[in-house]
Structure 1
Amino acid sequence: MKIAIVGCGGMGNVHALSYVNMPDVELTGVCDLDIELAQALSLTTGAPAFTSFETMLNDADFDVVSVTLPSYLHKEYTLKAAQAGKHVICEKPLALNLEDAAAMIQGCEQYGVHLFVGHVVRFFPEYVQMKQAIDEGKLGRVGVIHAKRIGSHPGDVRPWFKDFEKSGGVITDLMIHDIDFLRWAVGEVKSVYGLNQRVNDIDYALVTLLFENGAVANVEAFWGYQGPFQTAVEIAGSKGIIRSDSQKSSSLHICKAPSDSEGRRFAEVPQSPGYASPYDLEIAHFIQCIRDGSEPIVTANDAYKALEITMAALESVRTGKSVQLKTSSTLEEETV
């Protein structure tokens, strides 16, 4: 299968390195308005460099395009690719508002191409294990979740991140990872309350999600942290607690509540999943879905629903009030 990339920044390089190491896949073009970025990725991969997407459409032979551009350009280039009959692998967030996201999904359906969205957290082994623990009933009824994702401000390297109209800020760009994971693992969200402070190089958010099943999650995201990038999740249920902390030597710990016969103490059982690049797993999965027509682990509608929760959080930040979400529905139902 032949692939092209539009957007040769950080995520463009991540996608490119996955493709060049993938069997039966050929990278046939890389494109960026910044000729230096395009040429640098061309040297790394051997794929021809372009500064015009239209020229790449005309001159390069490919079946799939990775859209790894800044978020505010996702809609424009996804629809251009769809019109040209190319399948699309788009980085998250799908778009910066629900209208654009719906147009992207409907446009790809109209032109008969697949649309995949890079919610890569679903491919991190420790997050997969947390969902499995919930699905298998190991935690009992899920009650309270705490999640955080913090790091330096990406706008220090890519200034567009500091423009809220182009990035959507820390909630839309960073917290959406945990929003999508928690919806996948815990269930649909009923209401959202958000706080967000943006001052200079600081963008901090704390969002509370109330799920339809009664679970509550406090989700934290922070751009401007002076230490290393880190993530943590703790999920407490009626039968036990599961936690993951990227700063711990073992990435996943399950604390089981002992039976009375064991005495009232907690036994902590670490689980250390083997490492494989989640991006490699994600992109290989999307390519396989194109080949055999199978349903992806994360659908375009999943990406739409994660964005819907994100937009509710931003509305709550603006109004200072909790925002109620519609009951579970698909994009098709919402647009009828």
Structure 2
Amino acid sequence: MKIAIIGCGTMGMIYAHNLGKMPGVQVSGVVDLIQESADQAAAVSGAASYTDWEEMLEKEQPETVAVCLPTYLHKTFVLNLAQRGLHVICEKPAALTLEDAIEMEAACSKQGVRLFIGHVVRFFPNYRNAFDQVRSGKIGEAKMAQFKRYGSYPQGVDLWYHDRAKSGGVIMDLMIHDIDFACWIFGDVESVYASVTKPSLSGMEYAQVTLKFSSGDIANLTGFWGYPGPFTTQFEISGNEGIIRFDSNQVQSLDLKVLSGVNGQIDAVQVPTSPTLHDPYYDEVKHFIECIREGNEPIVSVADACRAVEIALACNRSAQIGLPVCMGGISS
């Protein structure tokens, strides 16, 4: 399969590294407005380097395109690529509004091409293991959870993150990972309540969110841009027969406890790493490619990605008005 990459920043380089070593895949072209960035991605993937994305598509004729651009550009490029009959793997979040995300999905469906949104947390081994443990009933019935995600404030060329109109802020860009995963565990969200600090001059944005699910279950989420330490993820999932804990700074596997007798150099943008031999970013794009080849449904659907955007928007709205927001119809 011939694949091209549009955008060679932090995520574009991850795609270039992984696709460049993936059997049965040829990275035909990479493009970035910054020539040096495109050349670096080309060097690790074996692709041709471009600064004009339309020229790249015309010359290289890829079957699939990975869109690793700033969030505010996702819709424009996905619609264009769909019109050209190309499958699209797009980084998360899908878009900044629910209407845009739905329009992207509809355009790809109309043209008969596949669209995948890169909610990579579902591919992290510890998170997938926790999901499997919950589904198997190892902790009984899961009733509540806490998720935390801390990273440095985006720096360097990625200053578009600092503009909420382009990134959506810490909830839409960072916390959306845990929003998606919490929904994977507990189902659909009934209401949200959120608080967000105003971005400081020193580069800090902090958000606290409570999600109440239709089942009555609760999840508390924390997202933090400006953390001075290494990128950190933590979660705790509690059931009536046990608890699952994970801390990326402390352990390399899950800490599962059950009741007695119960069976059972600073990057511009920090991204989480996996302590196992499995690279979740590699596994994710490999899974999407297999879905294209075999016609399978992905682990994370476009509908899942759209719902995550809708919930993140509801959280931002709750933070603005200082009140809980019921789900359904939140779209801007």
The TM-score, its normalising length taken from structure 1, stands at: 0.91
Which residue identity is paired with 1:3? I
Which residue identity is paired with 1:171? I
Deviates more, 1:157-166 or 1:286-295: 157-166
User: Do the aligned partners of residues 114 and 154 (structure 1) sit closer, same or farther apart at CA in structure 2, a change above 3 Å counting?
Assistant: same
Q: Among 290, 311, 315, which residue is 1:313 paired with?
A: 315
Q: Cα distance, 1:275 vs. partner? A: 2.5
> How far apart, in 1, do the equivalents of 2:254 and 2:227 lie?
23
2:172 match: 172
2:184 match: 184
2:278 match: 276
Confirm or deny that 1:13 pairs with 2:6. Answer: no
Structure 2: unaligned runs, 5 residues or longer: 263-273
Q: Deviations over 1:59-115 (max 9, x none)?
A: 112100000001110111111111111100000000011111011001111111000
> How far apart, in 1, do the equivalents of 2:144 and 2:46 lie?
49
> Which contiguous aligned blocks of 4+ residues in structure 1 show a shift greater than 3 angstroms?
none
On the 8 A contact 1:289/1:296 being kept in 2, the answer is: yes
Which residue identity is paired with 2:92? K
1:297 match: 299
> How far apart, in 2, do the equivalents of 1:273 and 1:56 lie?
36
Q: Cα distance, 1:214 vs. partner? A: 1.1
2:200 match: 199
> How far apart, in 2, do the equivalents of 1:41 and 1:290 lie?
24
1:57 match: 57
Secondary structure of 1:8 counterpart = coil
1:137 match: 137
Q: Cα distance, 1:251 vs. partner? A: 2.9
User: Do the aligned partners of residues 35 and 250 (structure 1) sit closer, same or farther apart at CA in structure 2, a change above 3 Å counting?
Assistant: closer
Which residue identity is paired with 2:222? E
Q: Cα distance, 1:51 vs. partner? A: 1.3
> How far apart, in 1, do the equivalents of 2:12 and 2:316 lie?
28
On the 8 A contact 1:126/1:273 being kept in 2, the answer is: no
2:234 match: 232
Q: CA RMSD for the aligned pairs?
A: 1.8
Q: Deviations over 1:108-142 (max 9, x none)?
A: 11111000000000001111111111111122222
Secondary structure of 2:314 counterpart = helix
**Bigger Rg, which one:** 1
1:37 match: 37
Q: Deviations over 1:246-276 (max 9, x none)?
A: 011333110111139xxxxxxxxxxx99520
The percent identity for this pair of structures is 47
Secondary structure of 1:155 counterpart = coil
Number of paired residues? 318
Q: Cα distance, 1:39 vs. partner? A: 1.8
On the 8 A contact 2:20/2:46 being kept in 1, the answer is: no
On the 8 A contact 1:316/1:322 being kept in 2, the answer is: yes
Deviates more, 1:318-327 or 1:276-285: 318-327
2:265 match: none
Deviates more, 1:85-94 or 1:139-148: 139-148
On the 8 A contact 1:170/1:204 being kept in 2, the answer is: yes
Q: Deviations over 1:145-204 (max 9, x none)?
A: 111000101135511111111111110010000000010111111100010012220110
Which residue identity is paired with 2:98? L
1:87 match: 87
